[in-house]
Amino acid sequence: MWYQTAVFYELYIRAYKDSNGDGRGDFRGAIEKLDHIQSLGVNAIWILPHYPSPLQDDGYDISDYYGVHPDYGSLDDFQTFLDAAHQRGLKVVIDIVLNHTSDQHPWFQAARRDKKSPYRDYYVWSDTGAEYPDARIIFLDTEPANWTYDELAGQYYWHRFYASQPDLNYDNPQVHAEMFRIMRFWLDLGVDGFRADAVPYLYEREGTNCENLPETHRFLQKVRRMMDVEYPDRVLIAEANQWPEDVLPYFGTPAAPEFHVCFHFPIMPRLFMALKKGDKTPIVDILNRTPPLPPGAQWMTFLRNHDELTLEMVTEEEREWMWQQYTPDPRMRLNLGIRRRLASLLDNDKRKWFLLHALFLSLPGAPIIYYGDEIGMGDNIQLPDRYGCRTPMQWDDGRNAGFSHAAETYLPVNADYQQINVAEQEADPDSYLNLLRFLLRTRQSEAALRQGDLDWVETGDTAVLAYTRRWQGRWVLCLYNLSGETRTLPGDFINASQPLHDLLHPGQTWQDNVRVCSNEPREWELAPFAAFWLAKEKSAD
Ligand code: GLC
């Protein structure tokens, strides 16, 4: 299926391009920039929530599921954007927030005012706020509890995120019906699927941690059945920030499938951990702990996204270590994570950036790239919450980085925009932008990298990670020196009589790029942070 081999781009409409000079990005602006997205070589776009919202959680608090936020334009603009993306061969996946609404949603407004309202039962209420004590608090830095007392309602209501995001009551079949209606509405407009937000939390049950409950899975199976019957070829992507064995049930079974794609959360911090430690162990361990997928399913891999770099799926000790290593300023921490952008995390070191991308793009899964990371955009830790990583896209060195003509933009443009912008990087063959295009092109031309099986290759050195991806007789050997030091490999690691082409250095072979040490026994010498994708010449297959 298309989504199994696709590369995705995470697009934040507010940040991308302002077409009407109000300082906020919109769909018309994003249409102007579709050529840029297409030029990267990606296949699909995921857009962050575009619905009307009071923006207490940047759109993840929806007040009308059938509309478009007025900042972003109209439903017509949305449709034009969708059509323009499709004309370029780009699929569009939208966010759907099933777990909760905004407290400004008319359902909640009606529910809190009248116990007898049919909408009262759309939400989860309590007289004491004492139920479900085993459910953890997710927004730890701001929320004291998962229950908040509402004066108007005279009761507590349940919320897993901000208090302005009351959870819907999935024990009420009406809520199911509403959600099905909403999903069909957008599927009928032609969207290619959904990234379903925060799916583990749909149901609550006493005595449990209220995550991953069987009832939640049954609802998700119902959603998938609807998609399979009425909208085949669209995709359902799960945001379930859980361990691989707990995510697996979200794919469902062949008899009762759920999601086509699930984010692989635990691999992400381990890529950063491995790079910082110069040790492949965290990557090898988590991939060994990742169960095989049912047919037709896929992982989604990512380095960064619009949220903090979450450290929920590591041990406490590892989390402390990651904080020590990656948050020299305490403002860089948020909840259980790190609120910095990719380039900053990598010390703006292009060697690390290239290595990490080569690695990430050669792992099993459908990769997704967060807007701005294709040019190594920086962040702004002065801004609160996760906004430091959601600043305007930097197009050129003109006013507001070419994002907007307005006097003021929704968030300040990063100070580095004159050095870091798309226009500047277009001209430089060695820029982040052009390197990413090259990496994506290379991945797209090698089926083994997109869908091959992964087999570890022993290197005898914990700093050197190696594996093959194999697909229908074709293989690529991926080899990475994760450390900032020169490392050596035994001379017989690669049979020198066989010319292996280095796909990451076109026109060159392995032998062109590694030094043979003169000492006996002979060894291959790998430069700090060196990356290779080695393959036989295609005709030799
Ligand atoms: C998801 C989103 C995050 C949002 C939360 C609540 O984790 O990625 O941005 O705040 O759900 O909807």
Which of ligand 1's atoms lies nearest the C-alpha of 306? 9
Angle at which helix 173-189 crosses helix 75-87, to 10 degrees, equals 60
Nearest CA to ligand 1 atom 12: 60
Ramachandran category for residue 335: left, alpha or beta (phi over 0 → left; psi -120 to 50 → alpha): left
Q: How far is the CA of 448 from the centre of ligand 1 (A)?
A: 34
Q: What's the mean pLDDT in 95-109?
A: 98
Residue 72's DSSP bridge partners are none
Whether the CB of 308 sits within 6 Å of ligand 1: no
Distance CA 300, CA 160 (A): 24
Q: Cβ distance 262 to 240 under 8 Å? A: yes
Give the three-state DSSP class for 45.
strand
Give the strands of the sheet with 309-310, arranged side by side. 309-310, 337-338, 333-334
Which CA distances in Å does 404 have to 81, 207, 343, 429, 495? 19, 51, 24, 27, 55
Sheet holding 464-471, edge to edge: 453-456, 464-471, 474-481, 531-535, 501-502
Mean pLDDT score, 182-199: 98
- Tokens standing for residue 294: 């049912």
**Cα angle 358-361-365, degrees, rounded to a multiple of 5:** 155
Q: How far is Cα 540 from Cα 139, in angstroms, rounded to an integer?
A: 55
Residue pair 364/299 in contact by the 8 Å Cβ criterion: yes
Q: What number is the average pLDDT over the span 184-211?
A: 98
**Whole-number pLDDT of residue 541:** 43
Tokens 């406490």, residue located = 316
Digit-coded pLDDT (tens) for 136-160 = 999 999 999 999 999 999 999 999 9
Per-residue pLDDT, averaged over 88-111, amounts to 98
Return the exposure string of 152-169: e unless at least 16 CB atoms fall within 10 Å of the residue's CB, then b: ebebbbbbbbbbbbbbbb
The pLDDT score that the predictor gives to residue 329 is: 97
pTM (whole model) above 0.95: yes
User: Stretch 396-401: mean pLDDT, rounded?
Assistant: 98
Q: What percent of the chain is modeled with pLDDT above 70?
A: 98
Question: 3-state DSSP call for residue 495?
Answer: coil
Q: Using one digit for the tens of pLDDT, what is the confidence trace for 21-52?
A: 999 999 999 999 999 999 999 999 999 999 99
Looking at residue 518, what is its pLDDT?
A: 63
Token pair 């499709």 in the structure block, residue:
86
Residue 468 forms beta bridges with which residues? Answer: 455, 477
pLDDT in tens, 432-467: 999 999 999 999 999 999 999 999 999 999 999 999
Is the minimum distance from the CB of 167 to ligand 1 under 6 angstroms?
no
Q: Quick one: pLDDT at residue 437? A: 98
Measured in Å, residue 133 CA sits from the centre of ligand 1 at: 22
Can you tell me which atom of ligand 1 is nearest the CA of 307? 9
**What are the backbone dihedrals phi and psi of residue 222, each rounded to the nearest 5 degrees, phi first?**
-65, -40
Whether 23 and 32 have beta carbons less than 8 Å apart is answered as no
pLDDT of res. 507: 86
pLDDT of residue 539: 58
373 Cβ below 6 A of ligand 1: no
Beta-ladder partners of 279: none
What pLDDT was estimated at residue 516? 73
198 touches ligand 1 (CB under 6 Å): yes
Q: Which residue has the higher pLDDT, 498 or 472?
A: 472
Handedness of CA 121, 125, 127, 132 (dihedral sign): positive
Question: pLDDT (tens digit, 9 = 90+) per residue, 226-284?
Answer: 999 999 999 999 999 999 999 999 999 999 999 999 999 999 999 999 999 999 999 99
Q: What integer pLDDT is reported at residue 520 of this predicted model? A: 66
Q: What is the pLDDT averaged over residues 490-515?
A: 83
Please compute the mean of the pLDDT values over residues 466-484 and round it to a whole number.
97
Question: Other CB atoms closer than 10 Å to residue 301's CB: what's the count?
Answer: 20
Q: What is the mean pLDDT of residues 376-382?
A: 97
pLDDT at 540 over 70: no
Average pLDDT over residues 419-432: 97
Q: In ligand 1, which atom is closest to the CA atom of 162?
A: 6
Whether pLDDT at 389 is above 90: yes
Q: State the average pLDDT for the chain.
A: 96
pLDDT in tens, 275-324: 999 999 999 999 999 999 999 999 999 999 999 999 999 999 999 999 99
Structure tokens at 517: 């040490």
CA of 161 to the centre of ligand 1 (A): 8
The response to whether residue 370 sits with its C-beta less than 6 Å from ligand 1 reads no
Q: Ligand 1 centre and the CA of 185: distance in Å?
A: 22
The residues assigned a catalytic role are 197, 239
